[in-house]
A and B are shown apart, each in its own frame.
Chain A
Amino acid sequence: MRICALVIRIIRQFLHDKRSLALMFVAPIFILWFMSLIFDGEVYTPKLGTLDIPERFAEALEEQGAELVQYASEEESERSLEKQEIDAVLRFDGFAPTVRLEGSDPSVNRSVLMLLQNAMKSAAPQAMPELNIEYLHGSSEMTAFDNFGPVLVGVFSFFFVFLLSGISFLRERTGGTLERLLAAPIRRAEIVVGYLTGFGLFAVVQSVLIVWFAIDVLDLRSAGSFWLVLTVTLALAATALTLGTFLSAYASNELQMVQFIPLVIVPQIFFSGLFHLDTIVDWLRPVCYIMPMYYGADALQDVMVRGGGWSEIAPNVYVLLGFSFLLAAANTLVLRKHRKI
């Protein structure tokens, strides 16, 4: 009954506050779409300068998709390299080819070298038999966005729910309404559950929207079930909700709540699987086990990239629910600061 009143109030507050509504529903969609445009683009075409290379090799390079610019002298090519008009210069010192890279962007370096290797292989096919490539998960068409898209889906669920629920609870305290709430015969746990339910409803809508948009509109690869993706994002949102309201007790204004973003959200993104965790320094690695995003992102990649079923993600979902439960209990305790019973 009282929980119900709290839920209705939260829904009404949201409906009156168009900006927060937009932040919750439009912002993640927009950012996701933006990211997909950036990372889903065509493969990069390296621009190569050439200094007197064999005709057959130049043809092989162009076949691989390189853009070639011929130079007459080394000074000329060096100048172009400095102006970043080309990514590398290729010359033959006698029999052996030498490549001089512009070198400031590792990903461009890699694509230049890859292209050169492919060209050399096709120019001298007898050297090695063609490699057959098979995929356990994914395919040759899989883009970078397909790989980290699932992580982004989780990050957005987490971030926006964290911020909105945290600030909303903070305002309740600084605006004096929490005190008035506690002057009424409502249990502290009822307040926590009411908040969880009210914001939970919006988190459900947000999750459905994000997941639907990512899979159906952006064509994000999703090998597993839509419902499993939804389950994971909801578990993540529940954690974000309880974490946001819990931390709001330690902020005395909205600005201090925002200060939790670099402290709490950003490190989680680092540990969420956007970067390979294997390359992290040893002593730092255990830190990821206390980060909700780590479990959420891992489960999302399991489902969307590797097509995992419930049995694969269940442990992760349980951990997230455990986090939520602990934080909700902590919330109830923290409210003791404001009313002793």
Chain B
Amino acid sequence: MSKHSLIIFGVMTLNTIEPMIEVISVSKSFHNKTVLEDISLSIPKAEIFGLLGPSGAGKTTLVKLIAGIDRADKGEVRILSERMPKLSMLNRIGYMAQSDALYTELTAKENMEFFASLYGLKGSGRSKRIREAAELVNLSDHLKKPVSTYSGGMKRRLSLAVSLLHEPEILILDEPTVGIDPVLRQSIWAELDRLRRGGTTILVTTHVMDEAYRCQRLGMIRDGKLIAVGTPDELMAKTGSQTIEEAFLHYGGVRP
């Protein structure tokens, strides 16, 4: 065995020993209504994992548990073997919610400065990261404008840039490309791919089928249960579908 392949082997075993995100038999209910039921999931480093499912299936609830905002009723969520929720782990996670969550009276730059400071960035390092993140989502020319003058797509992009500011190891994106035009969507996915190759683990919820195909693995959620996990090809083969959409409909119970 050459030295080179040894290193690769080493990295691979590390990955299998210590997954980035680990969800172990998690259940969660609100007001006696079960939203998540006995979900187990493991996501290794440098993977884009897509969560698919109809509205109200529990995707956002699961994402919030992983982001450390909420706590599971039963089971546990572990990030890098640390049990969540844990305050110090939040620095290693970037979270972009479904709503844009921006201060509309402030300028884009002021928004970014604020969130960057929350993650402990300051001075020239902070300015550099703001420039880079703005570049990434194509907003460099609009940083001085108040967010209230932004279009829906611009807000979505800014929101994404904010979640990238502190270069998190884990990026959690709840429907990141809603309201973004196809051209920009392509460039955002290209960026997500680049981040993944750089070692970032990305968890993304989506409704867009061609996006689902760009994920390494997919998880199908329905009525609070994780009903299937696998690569897009595996899921299509298992259900005998030609497209991801068909597989989605199959698992959604629309098609027998």
Contact = CB atoms under 8 A, between A and B. Distances in A.
B70 A176 contact: no
Contact of B71 (A9, A187, A340): A340
Contacts of A6: 114
A339 B70 contact: yes
Contact of B110 (A9, A179, A180, A184): A9
A341 interface: yes
A16 B95 contact: no
B101 to A, nearest CB: 4
Given A12-B110, A13-B106, A183-B93, A177 B69 contact: no
Contacts of A175: 99, 101-104
Contact of B103 (A2, A13, A183, A185): A13
A187 B97 CA distance: 19
A14 B117 CA distance: 19
B136 interface: no
Contact of A1 (B87, B100, B117): B117
Contact of A187 (B70, B87, B102): B87
A264 interface: no
B88 interface: yes
Contact of A182 (B69, B104, B113): B69
A8 B111 CA distance: 11
Interface residues of B, number: 35
Interface centre among B93, B118, B120, B162 (most CB of A within 10 A): B118
Interface in B40-82: 67-71
Contact of B118 (A2, A12, A13, A338): A2
Interface residues of A, number: 27
B146 interface: yes
Contacts of A340: 70-71, 85
Given A2-B117, A8-B114, A12-B110, A179 B85 contact: no
Given A185-B88, A185-B91, A9 B106 contact: yes
Interface in B92-143: 93, 95, 97-106, 110, 113-115, 117-120, 122
Interface string A1-26: 11011101100110011000000000
Contact of B105 (A1, A17, A182): A17
A185 B68 CA distance: 10
A16 B101 contact: no
Nearest to A182: B69
A184 B85 contact: no
Nearest to A338: B69
A118 to B, nearest CB: 60
B86 to A, nearest CB: 7
B101 A176 contact: yes
A185 B119 contact: yes
B90 interface: yes
Contacts of B87: 185, 187, 341
Given A338-B69, A341-B68, A176 B103 contact: no
B69 A12 contact: no
Contacts of A9: 103, 106, 110, 114
Contacts of B114: 5-6, 8-9
Given A5-B114, A9-B114, A341-B87, A183 B105 contact: no
A5 B88 contact: no
Nearest to B71: A340
Given A1-B117, A2-B118, A4-B117, A183 B106 contact: no
B120 A1 contact: yes
Contact of A184 (B102, B113, B118): B118
Given A9-B114, A181-B118, A339-B85, A16 B105 contact: yes
B103 A186 contact: no
A13 B102 CA distance: 12
B70 A180 contact: no
Contacts of B100: 176
Contact of A185 (B90, B104, B122, B146): B90
Contacts of B93: 183
A87 B115 CA distance: 68
A183 B71 contact: no
Nearest to A2: B118
Contacts of B71: 340-341
A6 B113 CA distance: 11
A75 to B, nearest CB: 68
A183 B70 CA distance: 10
B67 A183 contact: yes
Interface centre among A4, A5, A16, A183 (most CB of B within 10 A): A183
B125 to A, nearest CB: 14
21 contacts: A1-B117, A2-B117, A5-B117, A12-B106, A17-B105, A176-B99, A177-B103, A179-B69, A179-B101, A180-B97, A180-B101, A183-B69, A183-B93, A184-B118, A185-B90, A185-B120, A339-B70, A340-B71, A340-B85, A341-B85, A341-B86
Given A176-B99, A180-B101, A184-B90, 16 more contacts: A5-B114, A5-B118, A6-B114, A8-B114, A12-B106, A12-B110, A16-B146, A17-B105, A175-B103, A177-B102, A181-B118, A182-B69, A183-B97, A187-B87, A340-B85, A341-B68
* 6 residue pairs, one from A and one from B, having the closest CB atoms: A5-B117, A176-B99, A176-B101, A183-B95, A185-B90, A184-B118
